Structure 1
Amino acid sequence: MLKVVVKEGENIDRALKRYKRKFRNVKILQELRQRKHFTKPSVAKRAQVQKAAYVEQKFKTED
């Protein structure tokens, strides 16, 4: 469970922004979406390899 302590005199919008950032960093929503349907291990591995190749290619073009 995520907890955000609101400090004395802190704006509620700022606390809400911190909560949203924590929620996004914990990746709860992403995990829920992944659990909605089954992905075969071979498909997941292939997607991971493709993503790694894409990121590597992107960094090569930057240099």
Structure 2
Amino acid sequence: MIVIPLKEGENIERALKRFKRKFEKTGVVKELRSRQAYTKPSVERRTEVKKAIYIQQMQREED
């Protein structure tokens, strides 16, 4: 359970924004979406490798 302590005089929008950030970091929504459909381990591995290649290319371009 996520607990967001409100500071005295804090805006409710700011507290809601902190809650949303904490909730997203837990990864609940991401896991729910991934569980909607089964993906084979080989497909997961392939997408993982593609993502790693993409990140390496972006880092090379940055340098």
Q: Same fold (TM over 0.5)?
A: yes
Q: Residues 17-53 of structure 1, C-alpha deviation per residue, up to 9 Å, x if partnerless?
A: 1001101111111110001110100000000000000
Q: Scaled by the length of structure 1, what TM-score is found?
A: 0.92
Q: Report the CA distance between 1:9 and its aligned residue.
A: 1.5
Q: Distance in 2 between matches of 1:17 and 1:25?
A: 13
Counting matched residue pairs gives 63
Mean CA deviation greater in 49-58 or 2-11: 2-11
Structure 2 portions without partners, runs of 5+: none
Q: Scaled by the length of structure 2, what TM-score is found?
A: 0.92
Runs of 4+ that moved beyond 4 A: none
Structure 1 portions without partners, runs of 5+: none
Q: What letter matches 1:11 in structure 2?
A: N
Q: Does 1:39 align with 2:39?
A: yes
Percent of aligned positions that are identical: 52
